[in-house]
Amino acid sequence: MNRWFVGLMAVLFIIQGCAFLSYEVFSTPESEGASREREKGVFDHGGVVKGPDETIQFALSGIGLSVGARNFQEAGVSFGIFPLPVIPWPPGIIDIFYLPREAPPPLFIEIHLNPESEGFTLDPMRVTLVTSKKETINPVGFIGPVYAIRNIKKLKCQWDNTLKDNAQVIHLDQWTCFKLKFDIPASPEKNFSLSINGLEKAGEPVAVPEIHFKKGASWWLGVFP
């Protein structure tokens, strides 16, 4: 009986693979007149699981704007045989749950802008963040501008990770990406608001509704081949 059971488990692992169930927390954005989009976690080229990318999208006059916080945390993981990763299949299936830790600074906010006409500019250092304690802070630096290229069906930003810390007006003539660095804890447990100041069209400010971030969470199932 034991040999039959072990053999069956081995066949299931080979044919169906090993599954994992992940519980993830992150800062989810909301704002008046905007839509929200979530991309599920995927494996990057280094084999590391990346969490969901949740962004908020504005269709402003003449320009598209997408904003998201990059502070995903894995709050719990279960492993097992697909499709039941939470069942304690013997022998030695790992089942780990732990509470989110306080994430240290910095907090990165990612901004994508897609101009449909000429004359748009952005000064990233004028973007402001208001903490849950009503403290208003500006970025300590930013990465960008970098430009997006099409990868399969999506546009992906080509980051170079060069951090700039000086105010500058950047002309937007194609799909452009920025990462803003704020010197505050990156914990999804903390609410905050973001104002996209510094976006202009021909020298005139472009009004963007305030964006509010709060804790979001999701479960997703993955399978190792």
Residues spanned by the domain of 169: 2-224
Neighbours of 63 (CB within 10 A): 20
pLDDT band at 91 (very low <50, low <70, confident <90, very high): very low
Q: What is the CA radius of gyration of the chain?
A: 21
Token pair 């970098």 in the structure block, residue: 146
> How many domains does the structure of the chain reveal?
1
* Buried b or exposed e, range 70-93, using 16+ CB within 10 angstroms: bbbbebbbbbbbbeebeeebeeeb
pLDDT in tens, 21-45: 667 788 999 998 888 776 654 443 3
pTM score of the predicted model: 0.75
